[in-house]
Amino acid sequence: MAFSLTSPAFQNESTIPKKCTCDGDDFSPTLQWQEAPAGTKSFALIMDDPDAPPGTWVHWIIYDLAATKNSLPENVAKKETGPDASKQGLVWGVDTFSKVGYFGPCPPPGKPHRYYFKLYALNTLLNLPPKATKSQVEAKMKGHILGQATLMGTYGR
């Protein structure tokens, strides 16, 4: 079996539930993965929308997620520092609004957008400070990606 990312909230290429969007509770969906490549030391997660009118919109960034993890629960707390953050075993990056945490689909009316949840298995910790941007995370991951698993959901209004 290959490295894969799934969610009990929605199937790949299907509609993301309303509770995981700005029209609902804006809860992050439960994510589960399996078959991480041998040598994985951490994971990084980037969720973005390539269909946003101004260009790719970043909705969620997590990095230095412990290699012992194989899931994220629904509605991951949006604490960037303190005991709650360290208990989660992750570091928050910032989205396009420079905010930490999950901010779900909220497209303008029209054609549904695609939302990609990309999980990277890395052979190192990134050791970036909290609130790194997508470009900073991607630059630091370069040469350290052992595998990538992607889950794509859609949402329209």
117: domain CATH number is 3.90.280.10
CA-to-CA dists, residue 157 to 83, 108, 146, angstroms: 37, 7, 36
CA-to-CA dists, residue 128 to 68, 72, 102, 136, angstroms: 19, 21, 19, 8
Structural domain harbouring 19: 4-155
The total number of structural domains in the chain stands at: 1
87: pLDDT confidence band, cut at 50, 70 and 90?
Answer: low
89: pLDDT confidence band, cut at 50, 70 and 90?
Answer: confident
pTM: 0.94
Please give the single-letter amino acid code of residue 67.
A
Alpha-carbon gap, residue 60 to 152, rounded angstroms? 14
Which is higher by pLDDT, 88 or 36? 36
